[in-house]
A = this chain, B = another copy of it.
Amino acid sequence: MIKKLAIVGGTHGNEFTGIYLLKKWKNTPELIARSSFETEMLFANHEAHAQNKRYVEHDLNRCFSAADLTNDSLTSVEQRRAKEINQQLGPKGNPRVDFIIDLHTTTSNMGPTLLITKKGKFYNQLAAYVKLHMPDAMVSCDEDHKTNEEHHFLSTIAQDSVMVEVGPVGQSVLRHDVFEQSEQMTGLILDFIELHNRDQVPELPETVEAYRYIESIKLPLTADGERAGMVHKDVQNQDFKLIEPGQPIFVTFDGKEVCYDGEKAVYGSFINEAAYYDNNLAMSLLEKITLSTR
């Protein structure tokens, strides 16, 4: 039973959509109210937003492992803010809120994507419910071997959580379509939790198509670690489309194509995401999976 839920926006300061949705809902709280649980809102990284940056010193959405939250020697802007948020919504391990929805956007052409970091029938049914009412929605799973305690995402303060990840939208940009998709997906998640709480989850399709994270791959680099190329135009915007072995996925600045050297076909996501340039990550690779709602 989910009794308390938090919707978080602005975990990344230059992802405007969640921040403006929070502003909207502050004026119209009835839009996110449901009768079986309480909903609160949190603007996670004001300071980064004031500077119009993803983060000031550290990516806030990598600061929430239980070990980091209890490590007093970590004192950057975001490491301190993570501890504050952990006090407010958590503490992790025994949290005040039961569920967190964290609102993100991406510069990649991922459409409206539900990001799931935990396994279980609840999540599979949630995914099926969202996709039933929003057929364009994509479901992306990254339920790796970490325990919730080890996870570094803000949303993992709560025992249960999802991230809403919508694109393409540039950093520091508001797009009407992305705003609407983010709002619609959030509403569907709230609706599903309401139905789940009341034991009224309707008949759902037996299975739902999803994608599971395998690994991230890097941009071509020189021996000195400088960027030597970029994502190939045939892969740009092709999130959740097949990438075949031998297909050009990068092009170097001097015009040479670099092909995918994996052994089997995969799918891409977060393709050419601006924020991942910090680590020279080019995209995530995924496999297609089927989730069962039974």
A residues with a Cβ closer than 8 A to B are 20, 23-24, 27-28, 52-53, 107, 168, 170-177, 179-180, 227, 230-233, 236, 251, 253-254, 272, 274, 277
Contacts and interface: CB of A to CB of B under 8 A. Distances in A.
A178 to B, nearest CB: 9
B230 A107 contact: no
A274 B179 contact: no
Contacts of A171: 170-172, 274
A278 to B, nearest CB: 9
Indicate how many identical chains form the complex: 2
A20 to B, nearest CB: 6
Contacts of A230: 20, 174-176, 179
A272 B180 CA distance: 16
Given A20-B253, A253-B20, A233 B170 contact: no
Nearest to A176: B233
B177 A236 contact: yes
A227 B172 CA distance: 13
A253 B236 CA distance: 30
A28 B168 CA distance: 34
